[in-house]
Amino acid sequence: MSSFWSWWIIVITVVNILACYWLIKWTMKSRPGEAAEGDVTGHSWDGLEELNNPLPRWWLWLFYGTIIFALAYLALYPGLGNFKGFLGWTQENQWEAEIKSADEQYGPIFQKFASQDIPTLAKDAEALDIGRRLYLNYCALCHGSDAGGAPGFPSLADDAWMFGGSPEQIEASILNGRAGVMPALGPALGGDEGVKQVAAYVASLSGRDVDPALAEAGKEKYAAACAACHMPDGTGNEALGAPNLTDKVWVYGSTMASIEESIRNGRQGQMPAFKDFLGEDKVRLLAAYVYSLSQK
């Protein structure tokens, strides 16, 4: 934040707090011609008359207390522009302190499983229950509470894996994240017509009914632009995260429009890395749960 806006916030905030104090003092001040304390002011409604009584003391001191609290809070904690407060509190420090406290309390629960391999943990009811809770907290938003996936987010409950479904590969995906590198091929294929031809050929690889002429025209273009990643037979390459095109699993949708969109504009999906956030012990339990989903 620039110094101008910082001072703007400071001045506006402090002036408003002081204005509250001035307002209450101004309203309590006696004025010429005003009714004496306890007398009728001349205002009446439905038989009720207003008396010139002072504000209740308890209310007045409560009002002053809120002003004092506001000034003390803004002096101790951030709230006045770039001023960080005398306590030096930050939300990052608060978060780190809470995480450290939680790790000290709950860390041993996760550590006792750290020496076991993932296939063993996938058969341990207690480990799977912990992994399921971790999954629901950190993964379900994208992959669904049932791990069935969503458009752009692969299902974790089948045996189709873009980067491999072995225990080690699943753990590596969670620890380090994954990045989609499907380039936009529209211009390289000669525009929409070329995209339609390749899309028809790709759809034919999974046994779908397509225009034979379009598919035949797309076969040569596929070999030139797509086979290096997805392999000549379309079975994919886990090392690159290039999905198998011969099955019936489509991360971004199986309609021709979705396939054409993928080819034309590419896909750059991002799987975040959880190594620093969760730590290796929690990731191992999470990987065991995900691995177990595809073993049923």
Is 92-180+272-293's fold the same as 192-268's? yes
Does residue 228 carry a pLDDT above 80?
Answer: yes
| 63 HSE (CA, 13 A, CB side) | 15
- By C-alpha distance, which of 262, 264, 240 is closest to 250? 262
Q: CA angle, corner 166, sides to 163 and 170, nearest 5?
A: 60
Helix or strand (DSSP H, E) at 42: strand 40-45
**Secondary structure element (H or E) that encloses residue 51, with its range:** strand 48-51
Measured between alpha carbons, how far is residue 192 from residues 70, 122, 167, 201, 257 in Å? 62, 47, 41, 14, 11
> pTM for the complete prediction?
0.74
For the chain, the structural domain boundaries read 3-22+34-76, 92-180+272-293, 192-268
pLDDT band, very low/low/confident/very high, at 33 (cuts 50, 70, 90): low
Helices and strands, counts by H and E, the chain: 13, 4
User: Considering the domain 192-268, what is its CATH architecture?
Assistant: Orthogonal Bundle (1.10)
On whether the CB atoms of residues 201 and 227 are closer than 8 A, the answer is no
Q: Is 199 in contact with 260 (CB distance < 8 Å)?
A: yes
pLDDT value at residue 27: 83
User: pLDDT tens-digit profile of 80-104?
Assistant: 999 999 999 999 999 999 989 998 9
Residue pLDDT, tens place only, 143-174: 999 999 999 999 999 999 999 999 999 999 99
- Contact call for residues 222 and 215 (beta carbons, < 8 A): no
pLDDT digits (tens, 9 = 90+) for 165-210: 999 999 999 999 999 999 999 999 999 999 999 999 999 999 999 9
What six digits make up the tokens of 179?
């990045």
289 contacts 134 by C-beta, under 8 angstroms: yes
Does CATH number 3.40.47.10 belong to domain 92-180+272-293? no
